[in-house]
Chains A and B, each alone.
Chain A
Amino acid sequence: MTALRRVAPQLLTLLALILLVTVFFPEFLRIEVVNDRLVGPVMDILKRGAPVGLLAVGMTLVIATRGIDLSVGAVIAIAGAVAAWAITRDLGLAAALALAFAAGLAAGLWNGVLVAIVGIQPIVATLILMTSGRGIAQLVTEGRILTFSHDGLAFLGSGAVLGIPVPAVLWVATAIAVTLLLRRTALGMLIEAVGVNRNAAALAGVNATVLIIAVYSASGLCAALAGVVATADIRGADANNAGLWMELDAILAVVIGGNSLLGGRFSIAASLLGALIIQTIDTGILLAGFPSEYNLSIKAVIVLVILVLQSPNLVHHWYALRYFAMRRREAALDPRKEPGT
């Protein structure tokens, strides 16, 4: 029940958005079965939301420790390039996945060490990999777009299990697995402790250094999975554009999910709803038939409205306004009383 109350604002926002899109595009909620697959705008959102959803899982943990990971977009490009490289070298699907995950883990370890041991501020530490990561990805693809035809890898991007797109299955499964791991053990609480006050947590016996490195590694692994999915979807690795600016969407998803950028308590479910909200906005704008030049402006306005509605201060302002209005009315009725006293 408490869990449901935590995600209630996000659920309401999502429902309101779905209603809004349905007004412009009545067929929005229709789902049909075509060639044993479920097809419809909702399935499309679940599938296209996969990369940002996967990133949001890792980003939630990083932000819970009061950090931020700007490099995930570049890691998507690296993991995608490595996977495509391995497939074109006929190393097989298992080796391709292993190499891609190893790349993601290495990127995460690098970020984690820079933040936890060297002590560089997270935004700058991950900015380094954000800048050079795309270069590394281009190094792997030698500046070209590596295309491949391998049914096994392509299945991860465009296949379906029981009619549901594989990317959607992957991100929901990842989210459930990570949530269970964190909430059935003390790990989640320890991460929150580090986010609230790293020194206090360390004094209380939490190994904050290892925990922070682990959190950035998890973010790297999530980004690697997102990279494999994105590459498998288009059957090619584009080092320049894969995952470009996706880190910003992932951070936005975490914040729309009501998580504080100052660390502490977190909810992965709420972040995923945030990712779904963003994808619904993106897809909804296209379905509603607005010219593509307007997409970014409409998205910005909707995001702003959501953030304003979620602001903790809005309730206070509302009560304060009502209070002052009442005082003024009382003062007007009773001329002996000075207004504002």
Chain B
Amino acid sequence: MNPRLYPLAATIAIFLLAWGICVAQFPYMLSTRVVGNLLTDNAYLGIVAVGMTLVILSGGIDLSVGSVIAFSGVFIAVMLRDTEMHPLPVFLVLLAITTAFGAAMGWLIYALAMPPFIVTLAGMFLMRGVAYMLTIDSVPINHGFYAMLGKAYWLMPGKGRLTLIGVAMLAVVAVGMLVAHRTRFGAAVFALGGGEATARLMGVRLGATYVRIYAFSGFMAGLAGIVFSIYTRSGYPLATVGTELTAIAAVVIGGTLLTGGSGYVFGTLIGVLTMGLIQTYIVFDGTLSSWWTKIIIGLLLLAFILLQKGLVRFSGAGRPA
């Protein structure tokens, strides 16, 4: 087997093992209902994590996505409340805004040679701030189209609901895999993650690639915002605080190196599902107080990273290429 696949294989193996332990304790966790809910509850996280994967593959980071999701929800809710627009054109306008916002951050990172951590941190403040300026209340969304989107699902055998937003997440992961591993742009992203100087010598157009990477992440964050607004049927400027860190954790659990240049979009899906599995397990267990939940999530994150490190080292791959 290709040594590059070891982290991904380790991730999948650990996920299946964790699922096995959960099922051994609570047999009902094997049902399609739990699977359907796992996809639905983590749809927005999965979408935003796909964008984050590309950013991290290029050696960067995008801290603004949580704020962008909150802004998206507020923008949609306020537009639907104050204008007569149909949700679909609102979606288009929103995606244009968040993509342009991401592109602007990418351009700043390239043109001013500033670290992505700081540029996107400023972007995080800015988007949260703009969301506050739109409204400081939670605005409900009562459009008929939203009710339809929220109710759209396919009943799987065993009464599990495969919802529209769950399917949307899986589709986005498929698109992300194509973009990252099968396009010229994806190759440029990997090259950039390997090192800026080498990428330039290989003929990668740095400026265009930086702008596209962060535009892609901005687009995904906007899409995640739409999905989140369908999920919660409201817009709230204080929503999804800290989602960027959850997304980064999911990407890392998925086997992508934070230093860039190595990783798989499919691993990110497994990472997101693992985070969701931990939450589901805690809900099923039911005895943990909210503070123990936080401690356990941290410890499980640690256990997961250690296991993955151990498996990769044990299999003799050493440092992944």
Contact = CB atoms under 8 A, between A and B. Distances in A.
Q: Do chains A and B interact in one complex?
A: yes
A265 interface: no
Contacts of A303: 122, 125
Interface stretch (A20-28, A85-93, A154-162, A304-312): A304-312
Contact of A297 (B130, B289, B290, B296): B130
A328 B298 CA distance: 60
Contact of B309 (A120, A123, A308, A317): A120
B284 interface: no
A138 B129 contact: no
A135 B295 contact: yes
- Sorting the interface of chain B by its residue count into under 10, 10 to 19, 20 to 34 or 35 or more gives 35 or more
Interface string A124-166: 1001111111111111000100000000000000000000000
Given A252-B118, A293-B133, A123 B258 contact: yes
B302 A128 contact: yes
Interface in B300-321: 301-302, 305-306, 309
B71 to A, nearest CB: 11
B249 interface: yes
A16 interface: no
Interface in B53-112: 61, 108, 111-112
B126 A128 contact: no
A300 B129 contact: yes
A318 to B, nearest CB: 12
A314 interface: yes
A335 interface: no
A319 interface: no
A297 B133 contact: yes
B114 A251 contact: no
Nearest to A137: B291
Interface centre among A121, A132, A312 (most CB of B within 10 A): A132
Contacts of A304: 122, 126
Interface in A271-326: 293-301, 303-304, 307-308, 311-314, 317
Contact of A311 (B113, B122, B128, B136): B113
A333 B50 CA distance: 54
Majority SS at the chain A contact face: helix
B241 to A, nearest CB: 8
A124 B133 contact: no
Contacts of B119: 307
A153 B231 CA distance: 46
A129 B128 CA distance: 25
Nearest to A294: B133
B290 to A, nearest CB: 7
Contacts of A294: 129, 132-133
B117 interface: yes
Nearest to B298: A132
Interface in B262-321: 289-299, 301-302, 305-306, 309
Contact of B125 (A124, A134, A300, A308): A300
Given A143-B290, A311-B113, A127 B248 contact: yes
Interface in A107-129: 114, 118-121, 123-124, 127-129
Nearest to B110: A313
A130 B298 CA distance: 8
Interface string B176-214: 000000000000000000000000000000000000000
B115 A131 contact: no
A131 B294 contact: yes
A132 B301 CA distance: 10
Interface centre among B114, B249, B293, B298 (most CB of A within 10 A): B298
Nearest to A306: B122
A248 interface: yes
B129 A135 contact: no
B118 A121 contact: no
Given A118-B309, A297-B126, A313-B112, A127 B295 contact: no
Contact of A134 (B294, B302, B309): B294
A208 interface: no
Interface in B114-147: 114-115, 117-119, 121-126, 128-130, 132-133, 136
A145 B265 CA distance: 42
A255 B252 contact: no
Contacts of A255: 115, 118
A296 B112 contact: no
A160 B229 CA distance: 49
A317 B113 CA distance: 11
B89 to A, nearest CB: 26
A261 interface: yes
B292 A301 contact: no
Contacts of A293: 132-133, 136
Given A121-B259, A303-B125, A314-B112, A138 B118 contact: no
Contacts of B121: 248, 251-252
A271 to B, nearest CB: 14
B258 A138 contact: no
A130 B130 CA distance: 27
Given A120-B309, A255-B115, A308-B112, 15 more contacts: A114-B302, A121-B258, A123-B248, A134-B291, A135-B298, A138-B291, A138-B294, A251-B121, A261-B117, A295-B129, A297-B125, A300-B122, A300-B125, A304-B126, A311-B114
10 contacts: A121-B257, A127-B248, A128-B298, A128-B305, A252-B121, A255-B118, A262-B115, A294-B133, A301-B126, A304-B126
